[in-house]
Structures are given as C-alpha cells and as structure tokens.
Amino acid sequence: MANAWDADLISGGASSSEYKGRPIGIGLIGTGGIAQSVHLPAYKKLQDEGKVRIVALCDIKPNKLAEANAKFGPAQTYENYEELLANPEVEAVDVCTPNYMHMPPVVAAFEAGKHVICEKPIAIDSKQGQLMVAAAQKAGKKFQVGLNMRFGAGPQAIKRLVDAGKLGEIYYARAQAIRRRGVPMWGVFTEKDKQGGGPLIDIGVHILDMSLWLMGHPKPVSVSGTAATKFGHRTGHINLFGQPWDPNNFTVEDFASGYVKFENGASLVLESSFVLNNDRERFETSLYGTEGGVFLDLHNDDNTRIYTEEAGTLFDSQPVFLPGVATHEQEIRSYVQSIIDDKAVAVPGEQALMVSTILDALYESSDTGREVRF
C-alpha cells in the first residue's frame, strides 16, 4: 500500500473554481491566542480586499467568542462547532483549537463539504492525522496545515535554490528548535493528553517540516530517538515565558532528540526543547548537499548562509535583501488563494501527516528503546 504522504494522494484540486469574483464564507473554530493575534487579522484584511467574509466564529468560552466577535465581527457566533458547520454560508473553515481538538472539527468539516486550514501540528498523533487526510481526500476539499514558517522569505529563497539544484544531492540535515527556558504557560502545552507531546510536537514540528520540505520530502525508513523530562517536574527554575510552570501538571517531555533515515540514503538529526542548558533559543536548520550547504535561522533571515566551493575557493555567501514577511498572514492568503484558483495548497495535510508520523516514531523509539522502522 502507498504511504499516505505520497504526492499522488495529495488532496484538493477536485472542485471547480466557483469562488472567483465573490467573497468566500469563512468560519473559524477556536477564537483564542493564535486566532485573534494572526488568523483573524489576516481574514479581516482579506475581507477588506473582497476575497472573504468572516461569517461565523466558534469557541466553547463565551468570553473569548465575544472578544473575537467585537474585534473581527460582526459574525454569527457558536459555542458548538457542529452548529457552525451546519451554516451553509460557511464554505472554508479555520481550526485554531488546542491539538486534541483538531481532528474532530476537521473531519466533521470535511463531512460537511467545507475546505479546511488547521493549525499545527496536524493532530495529537498520526492516527488522528490519517483520519483527517482520509476525510479530506474523500471530500475532495482543500486541506492545509498551519506550518507557517515555510512562508518566510529566507526559507522561500532557499527552497528556490534547492529546486534549482544548487545544493546538489542533499544527504544530511540538522534541525534544532531549542529553547533555553521557554515553557508556554497558556493553553494546554504541558499536558500530554491534550497536546500530544512537549517541545517536539509544539516547535520541533516546525523545524522538522521545514527540513523535510527543503529536502523534497524523501520517504522516511527509520527513526530512533529519546524524549526526556529533566526540568518539568522540578520547581524553582527560571521560565522566560513568565510565570513558573506547574510541576504537577507537566506530563510532556522538555527535551527530545532523534535520528531519521530516508529511503534515498539521506539522514536528519532533530533536537527540540522547552528547557535546556544551551546558550540561547535556536530555530535553525542546516542542509548539506553535494554542491553546497545552507544555514537557515528562522528567527532571523539575515543569518541565512550558503556554503560552496567554486573555482578552487571556499565561499560563504548570504542574501543581500530579504523582505520581511508576516508568515501567518501569508499562509492565510495562500489558503484562500488556493481555493479561489482551485490549485493545490502550499502545505498539504499529507505532508503534515508525514511530520506527525516521524514524531510518533520518535516517541515510540524513546518508550521502547529501539529504532522504529516503517
């Protein structure tokens, strides 16, 4: 059987482009932090441009719902996502709920015939992710996942370089999403049952996705790794994200590392932490190819570097100008445009599922002490 992430299974593109020349009805589920800070402001701009209409908002917390409606409405408001999905004016859905609440509304949205963008990670695990991708494929609707970092100017420039063959064969990647002291204290980020995991699933997901995308999504064949909790159960440590974490409500790892091998012979090392005695926060990936290497710092495009050997000389080069990009806004614009133009989404559910499958395998390897082979 083919893997769910095979390119020929990528969902979307089946529907006719019935949306040209009129605003698409948007329904957003989960009007909390990320929705109010970046998703809804992006839709508001697109609404001003006549491309969408914010039709409906949903949250189980009436105060969050009222707050979002006051800022981004007036829209129809719901405390139950099933009711939002029953609204025929909602054509495209945006799911910004916590990870454990990604799969149920996404599957229900596809069953209701809507297009979907869902925040990252795809779900708390790959089993749920598979249900979501299968539902998207069955519905023939667009399914994008919120791996917004791909839209940055640095990553886009490097992707063009890779696609032009400038790195040659990429055979190794080193990906780091490391915080020295950065435990998110809002939401459910330290609760395994609601979040699916710790830094690996929260921020490791971005850097792994970035690396796989730049590598051209080679098929993984094996994963080994370790997930550890060395600080989460302790008290008295600094947390640069404000208040201290609650050691009694810390059921995720605070550090993870893994090693992935791919069918084409390439390999990748992944490191991720909420707490680590490291110099500083790092959101970085290095790719090593037969013709060149690159370094990407996702917090600072100016640190982008390209390493080559040309005409008997070793060169370090860097882009002279990269425009600042609001990556979340760009991701929403891209989602909406893919619906209008009836073209494939930029971050398909299938690729987010591949990320989730690797992360699941890393956790499994940590639990069993063995390499996981696909």
Ligand X SMILES: NC(=O)c1ccc[n+]([C@@H]2O[C@H](COP(=O)([O-])OP(=O)(O)OC[C@H]3O[C@@H](n4cnc5c(N)ncnc54)[C@H](O)[C@@H]3O)[C@@H](O)[C@H]2O)c1
Q: Which residues are near ligand X by CB under 6 A? A: 29-35, 58-61, 64, 81, 96-99, 101, 119-120, 146, 148, 186-187
Which tokens is 220 given? Answer: 């993984």
Q: What is the DSSP letter of 219?
A: P
Nearest distance, CB of residue 290 and ligand X, angstroms: 33
Dist. CA 292–CA 308, nearest whole Å: 5
Give the type of residue at 318: Q
Dist. CA 114–CA 211, nearest whole Å: 30
CA angle 150/151/156 to nearest 5° reads: 80
**Closest residue to ligand X: CB criterion:** 32
Which tokens is 149 given? Answer: 């970092």
Nearest distance, CB of residue 120 and ligand X, angstroms: 5
374: number of Cβ within 10 Å: 13
Give the type of residue at 369: G
Mutual orientation of helices 40-48 and 327-341 as an angle, nearest 10°? 50
Dist. CA 134–CA 122, nearest whole Å: 13
Residue 79 or 291 with smaller CB distance to ligand X = 79
Residue 27 or 225 with smaller CB distance to ligand X = 27
Residue 78 or 171 with smaller CB distance to ligand X = 78
Residue 213 or 262 with smaller CB distance to ligand X = 213
Nearest distance, CB of residue 11 and ligand X, angstroms: 20
Nearest distance, CB of residue 318 and ligand X, angstroms: 26
Dist. CA 174–CA 258, nearest whole Å: 10
Residue 39 or 261 with smaller CB distance to ligand X = 39
- Secondary structure tally for the chain: helices H, strands E: 12, 15
Are 95 and 63 in contact by the 8 Å Cβ rule? The answer is no
Burial class (CB in 10 A: 0-12, 13-18, 19+), 284: buried
Nearest distance, CB of residue 104 and ligand X, angstroms: 7
Cα R_g (the chain), whole angstroms = 21
Dist. CA 109–CA 94, nearest whole Å: 10
Nearest distance, CB of residue 25 and ligand X, angstroms: 18
Residue 148 or 224 with smaller CB distance to ligand X = 148
Burial class (CB in 10 A: 0-12, 13-18, 19+), 368: exposed
Nearest distance, CB of residue 125 and ligand X, angstroms: 13
Dist. CA 190–CA 42, nearest whole Å: 28
Residue 108 or 136 with smaller CB distance to ligand X = 108
Residue 59 or 271 with smaller CB distance to ligand X = 59
Residue 93 or 361 with smaller CB distance to ligand X = 93
Nearest distance, CB of residue 222 and ligand X, angstroms: 27
Strands 267-273, 170-178: parallel, antiparallel or unpaired by DSSP?
parallel
Nearest distance, CB of residue 28 and ligand X, angstroms: 9
